Structure 1
Amino acid sequence: MFRHLAALLLGLVIAIPAQAFDTRAQAAWVYDMTTGTVLLEKNADAPLPPASMSKLMTLNMLFEAVKDGRASMDTTFSVSTKAWQMGGSKMFVKPDDRPTVEELIHGIIINSGNDACVVVAEGLAGSEENFAKLMTQRARDLGMTQSTFANSSGWPDPNQRMSPRDLGFIATRLITEFPEFYPYFAMTEYNYKDRVPANSRNRNPMLRTGGNGDWTADGLKTGHTSEAGYGLVGSAVHQNGRRIVFVLTGMASEAERAQEAEAITNWAFREFVQKTVAQKGTRIAEADVWLGEATKVGLVVGDDVELLLPSLAQETLKANVVYSSPIEAPIEDGQKLAEMQIDIPGIPMVTIPLVAEQAVPKGGFTSRLRTAFGILAKLVVAEVAEFQS
C-alpha cells in the first residue's frame, strides 16, 4: 500500500483570494457553522486567560445536567457564604435565597454573575473546586485540549485557561446541542428580585447592532479582566441563513471590542459566498482495487459539498485527492476511502471525505489470478526497461 495523491480541477481555480482580516485582537477564531469552514485563525490554540467567557463551559455543564435528568429548570440550589461574597459581576443572590436553575441561567448569561456560577458549581458538585476538576475533565472528553479550569466563573487564576479554538468549540456546541436554551443568550436584561443595577444588563455589544439589517447577532458571552483584556465569543446569523461563531480576545477597551466584533462579522458575511461545488454522488476520482471482483472503484462525495468562496473568485477550484492505493477488497458501498483536499487562498485547507461509489466484493480465484498476472506483467516490463537502460 502507498499513499496516492492526485490533482484535479472541480471545474471551479480561485484567482482572487479572500482579503484577510487584520484584527486588532491578541487572538481570534472565526468559524462558518453552515459549511464547517474556519475563516480566520490568530493564536487560535494559545491557552489564554478567558475571563467570563469561560462561563460558557459552566453553562455547558449545567445544560448537560438538565438534559440527562440530574436537574430540572425548577430545581433550586442553596446559596453559600462564598457565593454571596463573590466580587465582580453579580446576580445578587443572598444566603437565604433558593434560586432555580432557570433563574441561575439568566443570572450567568445576562448578568455574568460570578455568584450564580458558584451556586451552580456547589449545587452540582458539592464544591467549586470539585466542579472545576469536572469541567477540566469534561473539556478533555470533548477534545478541548487547551482548556483547564480552576473555578466556575473565570475569576483570574493562572490555572484558568482556554484557547480561542476551544471557546469557539464550546460556543458551537451550545448552539447545536442545546437549542432549547440558546434563546437565553439573546436576552439583554434580567433583574433577580429587583436587586440588579441598571448597568448590569448583558454587555454583549453585538446584541445592539445588526449589520444594516443583513444579519442578526444572538450570543454569546463577553469577558474582561486586566490580564485578559476585553473579549467576546459571538454568534450571528445572516438573513440568507448562514451562521458564524467568532472569538476575539485581548482587546484594549469595550469600544474596540464592539468595533472589532461588528467589523469581523461584516467581513465574514460579505467577503465570502456559499456555493455548491459538487452534488451528492458526484464521482471525483477512481482508485485501483486489490483482489476484488472489479479492478477499480469510483470515489464520490457522500453529501452535497457546500463551500465558502471569496466573493470575487473565478469559477475554478483546485483540489487534491489523497488515499492509500491500491484499496483492498472487500469494499462496502459508501465506505470512506479517500479525502479531497481543497485549497482556497485566504482560509485554511478544506478536507472533504470521499466514499465508495459501489460495493466491490472480494474476488474469487479468477480475480486473484488476474491480479497475479497483472503484477507479473508489471515486473517483466520493469525488468526489460532496466535491462535496456
Structure 2
Amino acid sequence: MTLRNKPTSPMEPVLSPLPRLRRLLVSLLSLILAASVLSACSTTDALEISQPQAEPSKYAAIVIDARSGKVLYSEAADQIRYPASLAKMMTLYLVFEALQSRRLSLNSQIPVSANAARQPASKLYLKEGTTIDVDTAIRALVVKSANDVATAVAEHLAGSEAQFARRMTARARTLGMGRTVFTNASGLPDPAMRTTARDMSKLSLALRRDFPQYYSYFKLVSFEYRGKTIRGHNKILGMVSGADGIKTGYIRASGYNLAASVRRNGRSIVAVVMGGKSGSARDAHMAQLLTATFNRSIR
C-alpha cells in the first residue's frame, strides 16, 4: 500500500514535499557559497609556489615573518625529517653560548682526538693530536660543514660527543623545538636523529635573536685555512637580495636542506626547505619562496 500525505483533519491541507526540498537546496547552496568564499580568501593570502623538485617523503618547508612570528607558508612543516648538517646550527648555538659566558674565547684551542680525526667528509682533515682555534672552528662549521671539527668541538665542550648531543637536545627543548632529537654534533646519518622544518626555523630565529654579535659568521661564503681558500655551499647568499645566512645540509636520508634568512626593505624573513632532489633544486625552490614572500609583502 502506498502512503500519501493525508490531512489529519478536514481543515488541514495536504503538504507538498517540494517547498521543503527547495528550502533544503537553498541552505545547501548557501553553505557551498560560504565555503567557496572562505577558500577564495585563503587562496588570495597564500603564496603562489610551484611544485618543488623534492622527494615527497622528504620534503618540508616553512616561511616565517621573523618579527611577528607569523607563518607565511608551510608544507609538511611538522613532519619528522632528518636535519643533516642543519644540526650544526645547534652545535654553533652551544659554541656561541660558551663564548658569551666566557668559557671559550675566539682564540681558545680545541684539541683534536683520534675519534674527531676519523670522521667522514665533509671535513678539514684535522690530524689527531693537533688543535684548532675557536674562530677557525666556527668558520669551518658554517662554510665547510666540517664533521671532524663538529666532533672536536663537542668533545671539548662536553667530554664526549654523546654527552654534547644530549645538551643539544636539552637546549632544543628550551627553544621550543619539541620534535627534535640530536644524537651527534654534525648531523651525520643516525636513525634516532630527527627534527622538523618548524623546529629548524625556531633554531634559525634563536641564533639571530640570541647572538647578534656572532650571527655574521653565517654570512661567510669562504674562509682561509692553511693557505687555501675554502668555499661554501650556501648559494642563496648570492641569489636573493638581502640574504644573510644561514646553513645548508645534506645526507641521503634527508635530501638537500637549507635554512635561510633575508632582511630587505624593512622586512625580516626566515625560511627552511628540506628534502630537495639536488642542491640547485633546493636553492631554486628557496629563492622562489623568498621572492614570492617579498613580492606579496609589497602588494
TM-score (norm 2): 0.80
**Which of 174, 185, 190 is equivalent to 1:157?**
190
| Secondary structure at 2:226 match in 1 | helix
Match for 2:242: what amino acid? T
Provide the rounded CA distance (Å) in 2 between the counterparts of 1:151 and 1:96.
21
Partner of 1:138: 171
**Which of 249, 268, 278 is equivalent to 1:243?**
268
Partner of 2:4: none
**Which of 217, 222, 231 is equivalent to 2:248?**
222
Partner of 1:186: 219
Q: How much does 1:46 deviate?
A: 1.6
Matches within 5 A, 1:1-389: 17-20=44-47, 21-24=49-52, 25=54, 26-194=59-227, 200-210=230-240, 215-238=241-264, 240-273=265-298, 311=299
| Secondary structure at 1:70 match in 2 | coil
Write 1 or 2 for the structure with the bigger share of helix. 2
- Are the equivalent residues in 2 in contact too, given 1:91–1:112 (CA < 8 A)? no
Q: How much does 1:138 deviate?
A: 1.5
| Secondary structure at 1:123 match in 2 | helix
| 4+ long deviations beyond 3 Å | none
Instruction: For residues 81-137 of structure 1, give each alpha carbon's deviation from its aligned partner in whole angstroms, at most 9, with x where no partner exists.
Output: 111111121123222322111111011001111011001100000010111111111
Partner of 2:6: none
- Are the equivalent residues in 2 in contact too, given 1:54–1:162 (CA < 8 A)? no
Match for 1:202: what amino acid? G
Provide the rounded CA distance (Å) in 1 between the counterparts of 2:194 and 2:259.
15
| Secondary structure at 2:106 match in 1 | coil
Q: How much does 1:176 deviate?
A: 1.1
Instruction: For residues 208-259 of structure 1, give each alpha carbon's deviation from its aligned partner in whole angstroms, at most 9, with x where no partner exists.
Output: 223xxxx321101111111101110011111x12111100011111120121
| Secondary structure at 1:45 match in 2 | coil
| Secondary structure at 1:99 match in 2 | strand
Distance change >3 Å, CA 35–CA 189, structure 1 → 2: same
| Secondary structure at 1:104 match in 2 | helix
Provide the rounded CA distance (Å) in 1 between the counterparts of 2:45 and 2:213.
35
Match for 2:204: what amino acid? A
| Secondary structure at 2:103 match in 1 | coil
Partner of 2:36: none
Match for 1:208: what amino acid? G
| Structure 2 gap ranges (5+) | 1-40
Provide the rounded CA distance (Å) in 2 between the counterparts of 1:28 and 1:15.
18
Provide the rounded CA distance (Å) in 2 between the counterparts of 1:41 and 1:16.
14
| Structure 1 gap ranges (5+) | 1-13, 274-310, 312-389
Provide the rounded CA distance (Å) in 2 between the counterparts of 1:16 and 1:231.
27
Match for 1:17: what amino acid? T
Instruction: For residues 260-304 of structure 1, give each alpha carbon's deviation from its aligned partner in whole angstroms, at most 9, with x where no partner exists.
Output: 11111101100124xxxxxxxxxxxxxxxxxxxxxxxxxxxxxxx
Provide the rounded CA distance (Å) in 1 between the counterparts of 2:193 and 2:72.
27
Identity %: 36
Match for 2:44: what amino acid? P
Distance change >3 Å, CA 98–CA 265, structure 1 → 2: same
Provide the rounded CA distance (Å) in 2 between the counterparts of 1:129 and 1:23.
38
Match for 2:282: what amino acid? R
Provide the rounded CA distance (Å) in 2 between the counterparts of 1:15 and 1:27.
20
Q: How much does 1:43 deviate?
A: 1.1
- Are the equivalent residues in 1 in contact too, given 2:176–2:202 (CA < 8 A)? no
Distance change >3 Å, CA 272–CA 86, structure 1 → 2: same
Number of aligned residues? 253
Instruction: For residues 47-70 of structure 1, give each alpha carbon's deviation from its aligned partner in whole angstroms, at most 9, with x where no partner exists.
Output: 211110111011111111111222
Q: How much does 1:32 deviate?
A: 1.1
Distance change >3 Å, CA 242–CA 118, structure 1 → 2: same
Write 1 or 2 for the structure with the bigger share of strand. 1
Provide the rounded CA distance (Å) in 1 between the counterparts of 2:224 and 2:189.
26
Match for 2:231: what amino acid? R
